[in-house]
Homo-oligomer: A and B are copies of this chain.
Amino acid sequence: MNDDLEFVRRRLGELHDLKLTINLLEWDMEVLMPPKGAEGRGRRISTVAALHHRLGTEPAYAKALERLAECALPEDDDAAIVREASYDLKRASCLPEEFVVEMSEAHTRGFNAWRDARAKNDFAAFRPHLEKNVELARRAAEYHGYDESPYDAALENFERGMTASRLRALFAPLAEDLKRLVAKSERREGFAFPKGPWPVAAQQAFERGVLRDMGYDFEAGRVDVAPHPFCTTFDLHDVRITTRYDESDPLSSLYTVMHEAGHALYEAGFDPDADRTPLAGAPSLGIHECNSRMWENLVGRSRPFWERYLPALRSAFPGRLDGLSLDEVVRHVNRVEPTLIRVEADEVTYNLHVVIRFELELAMIEGTLAVADLPDVWNAKYREYLGIDVPDDRDGCMQDVHWSSGLIGYFPTYALGNVYAAEVYARFRTETPLWDDDLRAGRLTTLLDWLRPRIHRVGRRKRAESIVRDIVGREPTAAALVEHLTRTHAGANP
Interface residues of A (CB under 8 A from B): 13-14, 17-18, 20-21, 24-25, 28, 32-37, 39-41, 43-44, 47-48, 50-51, 55, 217-222, 234-238, 240, 276
Contacts and interface: CB of A to CB of B under 8 A. Distances in A.
A20 B17 CA distance: 16
Given A37-B238, A47-B18, A28 B28 contact: yes
A363 to B, nearest CB: 37
A356 to B, nearest CB: 37
Contacts of A34: 218-222, 237-238, 240
Contact of A48 (B21, B33, B218): B21
Contacts of A13: 43, 47
A28 B35 contact: no
Given A17-B44, A18-B48, A235-B44, A28 B24 contact: yes
Contact of A234 (B14, B18, B40, B55): B40
Contacts of A218: 34
Contacts of A240: 34
Nearest to A221: B34
Contacts of A21: 21, 25, 44, 47-48
A432 B144 CA distance: 65
State the main secondary structure of chain A at its contact with B.
Answer: helix
Work out how many copies of this chain go into the complex: 2
A44 B15 CA distance: 10
Nearest to A51: B51
Given A14-B51, A220-B37, A44 B237 contact: no
A102 to B, nearest CB: 15
A20 B47 CA distance: 11
Contacts of A33: 234, 238
A17 B40 CA distance: 9
A370 B32 CA distance: 43
A36 B220 contact: yes
A238 B33 CA distance: 7
17 contacts: A13-B43, A17-B47, A18-B47, A21-B21, A21-B48, A34-B220, A34-B222, A36-B219, A36-B220, A37-B220, A39-B235, A40-B238, A41-B238, A44-B235, A48-B48, A51-B51, A51-B55
Nearest to A240: B34
A265 to B, nearest CB: 15
A17 to B, nearest CB: 4
A17 B101 CA distance: 14
A148 to B, nearest CB: 39
B43 A17 contact: yes
Contacts of A32: 222
A240 B50 CA distance: 26
A40 B221 contact: no
Contacts of A217: 36
Nearest to A28: B24
Contacts of A24: 24-25, 28, 44
A234 B44 contact: yes
Given A33-B238, A36-B217, 4 more contacts: A13-B47, A17-B48, A21-B44, A37-B234
Contacts of A222: 32, 34
A196 to B, nearest CB: 23
A25 B218 CA distance: 19
